[in-house]
Chain A
Amino acid sequence: MILLFGSKTTFAQKCDLSIRGRILHQENNDPIEGAYIWVIESATGAVSDENGNFIVKNLCQGEYHITIQYLGHKEIKDSISLSSNNFNKTYRLEEESLDLGGVEIHGHRFAVQTTTAVTALYGEALLEARGENLGESLKRISGVTTFSTGNSIAKPVIHGMHSNRIMILNNGIRLEGQQWGAEHAPEIDPFVADEITVIKGAETVRYGPEAMGGVILVNPAPIPTKKDPKTNIYLNGGTNGRMGNISVSHADGSNKIKGLGYQVQASAKRAGNIKSPDYFQGNTGLSELNFSGSVGYSSSKLGVEGYYSYFNTTLGILRDSHTGNLDDLLAIIENGRPFSDPGFTYEIINPKQVVSHHLAKVKSHYHLSDTWKLNFQYGFQTNNRKEFDKRRGDLNEKPSLDLQLFTNTFDLFVDHNLKNEWSGSFGLNAIQQANNNIPGTGVTPLIPNYDMVNLGIYAIEKYSKGPLELEGGLRFDARSVNTARYVDSELQEADLSYTNFSAFIGGLYQISPKVTFNSNLGTAWRPPNVNELFSEGLHHGAAAVEIGDPDLNSEKSLKWVNALEYDGGRTHLEFTAYANHISDYIYLNPTGETYVSLRGTFNVYEYLQANAFFYGFDFSGSYVFTERLSAYAKGSIIRAKNTDENNYFPFIPSDRMDWGLAYQFGSLKNSQTNKLTLSNMLVAKQKREPDFDLAPAPPAYALFNLAYQKKFIFGENQLNLGIQIQNLFNTSYKEYMNRFRYFTDDMGRNILLKINYQF
């Protein structure tokens, strides 16, 4: 071929060849920035960029020997026969063994290896979110909103999906509480996390059923592997609700045993009645006490980790939201605000929730060889949820709902990061669950006692070559559910089983060093939850009778997510577009009927299934005008339709965007944060309302926030000071995604002081 083009051009082309490649961590497939690539024959070299890519240009045809070096990692030597410009290879660097002095050992972190759209909250962004609950913190990520019940209960919503359609992993273990309830917040303390990652794709294959809308990974910092004591103290205070919050964490490693380290963390929070601009919301205080600790050991071959976390919260529920019957409910909706204004108090009375959650896990990995790793993880969780209603006399001391949920999760999988382009994992996963209604509530239980077992096997394989990554996976799940309960003093039992195959395929392509595109198409499934199957009775406070259907099928979804990322010098842009088709989407539908009792009338809702189509996009971008002035904008648009009935589902977030300007004060030489940010949140009215709602969607609103963040450095220590004013102009507004919009305005102005000291 070459000869046909004449000798002159051939010669010129021959010495215009390049060696391209990508450098990754053997351990976790993370790209390595700053690895040094040296071509011996040509005596030229290159350094890998932040994506791990490198290119050595101006090489002629021929045989070359290259070396790849990176501090603390074993050198790679390779010989290359270069004949065309297509040469592109992935190299994985392995860490040196422990006994080399001064070498930092990689903490064995639960890395996200996915080609789908991922956004993480860490560093300064996480610092600014400290003191907020998980749902509120995650709102900082475009495409993530909350489905909330007042100001203290917020469930994260990813691309319009929440509760059992998304998954939350607490340090790698899927959080199993009573997620089905609209007013059941995730039982997790965000202070546990050093990084919170949101995966926006369907990740059922990797994480198991129910990861339909996305996955949230709450990851603690890696456990230290050598002596290096670090303490972190957070002190937060807020004027609205007179909130006080403290968190302390400490981590250190052992001097005697190399690779041994630990981490402990505790936090406490107390807040009283929340104030809307014109009035206090009665009984909206909360108190929280959390603890977590971990111990880890890692050597070059073996890694072992133990982790325990405890979460305990008491949440007051707005007194006026608890209505006796439909007339009560309609009366307060018409009033537009609570009838009572009890002023400020820290006291929490009925109705309230008392929730505690224990999670313990052990995790271990063993390097079978340079390229193969065996992983094992076992988690045990117990969740106790007590809900107290306003009742008569001694009954006030008894919870109306008292559920205990035990969950065992078990994972065994092998990872491989081969020397060539292939990496992946194969594994099996088991979840076993037992749910009990603790007797003595004096209320017919809403959901039955049940046992659930889910077994899954999966395989995921990834091909990485230079700027291209391709990934595919397959999974098979089988689930059995056995329920038992009394209906009118008759024992009623049900045995149900569900099976499903899921699969995904995804790819990532680095179009240029600045532009990355990824695309992921995945199926996901979710068996109907026990409440959807068996609910029968009055949902106290909601003046609604909810009726389940034991014949519901599993929901199946197909989600396609595409993300384009541009990272230029001054400009950063991220654009995510998705489409999600769900067959047999389960939803609670108002029947239009009412039940009449001596207590009055109640609306009747039933669980139905229909085909659903969700689509939308998220964007986020920032631009640096000058060294001092920068701007950002982010937003999301979601459309969700019942394609069978051609109408809309309730509680889908309306269009929204958030934009702001930041100004950096002080000396520009030291890059210490000293920044004032003014931001504006714009939320549109939800015009795509369901056919039936108790009240129309609230109008659009705009909120302004002001934040000041400053970092002080004292030698090795660091002090971060933050002052935030949320809802600067004390605007009265209602958020469509807040179930309490029927009863009250949202929170008014809140001035927060956030102090963090690291030493």
Chain B
Amino acid sequence: MNYLKKPTLLIAMMVSLALASCKSEDPVPENDEELITDVTLRFTEVDASGNAIGTPFEFVASDPQGVELGDPTIETVELVKGKSYQMEIFLYNSIADEDITEEVQEESDEHQFYFLGTAFVGSPVLTYTYDDLNGEIIGLKGQVEVAEFPGFNNANMRIILRHDLDKNFPGADNPNFENFTQAGGETDLDLTFPLVLN
């Protein structure tokens, strides 16, 4: 049985070699770099000719866990009837400590905000106009006019950020485009701020 010994030895060697050579590595924690954990709306009152007046004020929606059980915290937006504001949106990833606003600005051709909810559609209490850098249509910066005599004082501001959409789709340049899904792409943000008008 001499022939048995050699293969057995060879096999034993190969197996021990193979088993030793591949062991899983220690895991490395990953930061979710894409996540947007904080959405800040900054309002600055403007006069009739569009010049800023008064001090800016902010409302924040935050979800430090990302997609997990537990609803995000969303502040109530308070605006004054009959006034006009400049509204800027800031996006931040607190997990990876990254400013997402810049990234969205850089990929201006792929991103666009839509403004829906009872505040903007139906009998709107707010009127939104895109006012981004270089006349682009993104929604990071825009003008919001509050109705002087709104039908109601409480409403919802639904803010949607679409990614990879077809900006040339008919109607896609309307900030209150309800059929935004038809322009293709996917949703990066879809959140609703409660609105109170004083």
Contacts and interface: CB of A to CB of B under 8 A. Distances in A.
Contact of A436 (B15, B25, B72): B25
Nearest to A453: B19
Contacts of B36: 598-599
Interface string A584-601: 000000000001111110
Contacts of A328: 181, 186-187
Contact of B15 (A430, A451, A538): A430
Interface in B44-69: 61-63, 66-69
B156 interface: no
A598 B100 contact: no
Given A319-B184, A366-B7, A451-B24, A598 B189 contact: yes
Contacts, number: 152
Interface in B1-53: 3-4, 7, 11, 14-15, 18-19, 22-34, 36-37, 39
A324 interface: yes
B30 A595 contact: no
A392 B186 contact: no
Contacts of A412: 11
Contacts of A166: none
B188 interface: yes
Nearest to A332: B181
Given A340-B184, A392-B103, A598-B63, A406 B11 contact: no
A325 B32 contact: no
Interface stretch (A148-156, A461-469, A485-493): A485-493
A410 B14 CA distance: 10
Contacts of A340: 166, 184
Interface range, A side? 35 or more
Nearest to B166: A340
A563 to B, nearest CB: 37
A324 B166 contact: no
Interface stretch (A97-105, A215-223, A442-450, A610-618): A442-450
A393 B184 contact: no
A145 B27 CA distance: 37
B67 A442 contact: no
Contacts of A378: 11, 14-15, 18
B27 A545 contact: no
B72 A596 contact: yes
B190 interface: yes
Interface range, B side? 35 or more
A103 B183 CA distance: 70
Given A320-B184, A376-B7, A432-B19, A442 B96 contact: yes
A554 interface: no
B107 interface: yes
Interface in A287-342: 319-320, 322-325, 327-328, 331-332, 335, 338-340
B63 A597 contact: yes
A364 B3 CA distance: 13
Given A393-B103, A597-B67, A599-B36, A484 B26 contact: yes
7 contacts: A322-B186, A324-B163, A327-B187, A338-B184, A410-B18, A436-B24, A538-B67
Interface of A: 319-320, 322-325, 327-328, 331-332, 335, 338-340, 364, 366, 368, 374, 376, 378, 380, 390-393, 395, 406, 408, 410, 412, 430, 432, 434-437, 439-445, 448-451, 482, 484-486, 489, 491, 537-538, 545, 595-600, 602
Interface of B: 3-4, 7, 11, 14-15, 18-19, 22-34, 36-37, 39, 61-63, 66-69, 71-72, 96, 100, 103-104, 106-107, 163-164, 166, 181-184, 186-191
Given A395-B34, A436-B24, A599-B190, 16 more contacts: A319-B164, A322-B186, A324-B190, A328-B181, A339-B182, A366-B3, A392-B163, A393-B103, A430-B15, A432-B18, A432-B22, A435-B24, A437-B27, A439-B28, A442-B33, A602-B67
